[in-house]
Amino acid sequence: MRRLITLCVGVMGLWTVVGEQTVAARDPSPAAGGRINVLMIVLDDLNDWVGPLQGHPQVRTPYLDALARRGLTFTNAHCQSPLCNPSRTSVLTGLRPSTTGVYALQPWFRSDGRFRDHPTLLQWFRQHGYLTVSTGKVFHSGYPPKEQQSQEADVWGPEARFAPRPKSKFVTTPDPHPLVDWGVFPERDEECFDYDLASWACTWLRDAPRDKPWFVAIGFQHPHLPCYAPRKWFDLYPEDQLILPVVKEDDRDDLPRFASFLHWKLPEPRWKWLVQQGQWRPLVRAYLASVSFVDAQIGRVLQALRDSGLEQRTLVVVWSDHGWHLGEKGITGKNSLWERATRVPLMLAGPGIPAGKQCRRPVELLDLYPTLAEYCGLKIPPQLEGISLLPWLKDPQAPRERPALTTHNPNNHAVRTERWRYIRYADGSEELYDLQADPHEWHNLAQRPDHAAVKKELARWLPEHNAPPMRGSAGRLLVIENGVPLWEGRPIRPDDPFPDR
């Protein structure tokens, strides 16, 4: 039976650096007389292409860089699912996709009676006296339904929207989906989506209450497609100097066939099509421009927090729901169990958190719920499946036995340690990568007999129970029925070739 580790360590005794002086951080728990505010910034489809993670040598993220300098960056953090709805559901409920059965873009998790009364992260803080605020894409788009918003948070800001958009797409992609596009648009920052969310958040923060603790969640959509940003952000990345991701043309040759089923038919084009159409370089450039644009919006929000005078009483946490491929393994988009789709930025800065530090231990976004609760002096709900990260906020080098686990559709899991990535698919096929020797995951070692012991050790962390898809599941759903894989309800035949468009 797999072992679970429960760690509970108080914040008292952590240290922080203010300017050039090192001072003892006060205990932020209610018993100490002061309650810590929380500012949570959520990003959409942002992989490790940020300065603190060094995922791309040319990326410019000065505001995230500055946040990392005053806090702790987890450099080996991973999402619970490489898809928006299940990832965000996992973070906000503290439960794994294999527990909830939320694997696809739909449904809203409360549509299942089992979770009608389960407290989300925001609800838990509200139940403990916090004013809760949500704006943009924190839950998945369209969730919670409007009639249920008041149950989930006290204050709701503007909804996330991909607007305005040009009259027609810039790029004619194989799938005509209106959001699968990239290019210079609009002319000014003020006209680009996400700017309005930052503006609303800035106004709220500058007038934030001082007589009651608050939890503010802001969900930006960049760099999610469409990758639009004004010209000045593209100018940061001259096209003739752009460094493209390293891609191995035969990278899929040693993969089990089932690996392709996880992203069988996607709106995002394949790498082969991008190369053929001369669109690979423009997409990479647009993605980088989108990253820098949203970094600037984060900078505006953090400046508003400073202007409020509450920065020293506020924990700032930044995370992305999952990563994004830009050609690696022959795909663009998410929907995979490889490093490019599972690794995400995760940064925390606030009272008692060491400045300018990094932690290489494998951690999960699932750990956020118990971490934020314990950090702020709240009890941790017993049903949560993550573990508090306070021990690593105190000592980033502290050992951690538990790896990170990512799930994509029923019975497909990836286990990530500091060295290894082990993937097991629903049909029993496997992949194994030594990330120290093979950071690009080019060499699948799963069939080598000398690695049998490694696979066995990693496999003990796989979930013992895999819930069936929640009723109403739809959108990028892969299941097996009577031995036949079904992608979004359509069978994949043994002789169907992997789509290359």
Q: Residue 113 sits in a domain of what CATH number? A: 3.40.720.10
Q: Is residue 169 assigned to a domain?
A: yes
Q: Is residue 425 assigned to a domain?
A: yes
Q: Is residue 378 assigned to a domain?
A: yes
Q: Is residue 16 assigned to a domain?
A: no
**Per residue in 378-391, pLDDT tens?**
999 999 999 999 99
Q: Is residue 134 assigned to a domain?
A: yes
**Where are the extended beta strands (E) located within 109-167?**
131-136, 155-156
Q: Is residue 2 assigned to a domain?
A: no
Quote the number of domains for the chain: 1
Q: Is residue 124 assigned to a domain?
A: yes
pTM reported for the whole predicted model: 0.93
Q: For residue 470, how far is the Cα from the chain centroid?
A: 22
**Per residue in 337-394, pLDDT tens?**
999 999 999 999 999 999 999 999 999 999 999 999 999 999 999 999 999 999 999 9
**Per residue in 155-208, pLDDT tens?**
999 999 999 999 999 999 999 999 999 999 999 999 999 999 999 999 999 999
> Stretch 75-92: mean pLDDT, rounded?
98
Q: What is the DSSP letter of 497?
A: P
Query: Catalytic site residues?
Result: 84, 140
Please write down the HEC assignment for all residues of 193-230.
CCHHHHHHHHHHHHCCCCCCCEEEEEEEEEECCCEEEC
DSSP per-residue string spanning 69-97: HTSEEETTEE-S-SSHHHHHHHHHHT--H
Residue 457: CA count within 13 A, CB half-sphere: 13
Q: Is residue 266 assigned to a domain?
A: yes
CB 259 within 8 Å of CB 406 = no
Q: Which residue has the higher pLDDT, 420 or 10?
A: 420
Determine the pLDDT at residue 236: 98
Rounded to whole angstroms, how far apart are CA atoms 389 and 373? 11
**Strand bridging mode 182-184 / 363-364:** unpaired
Domain that holds residue 159: 35-491
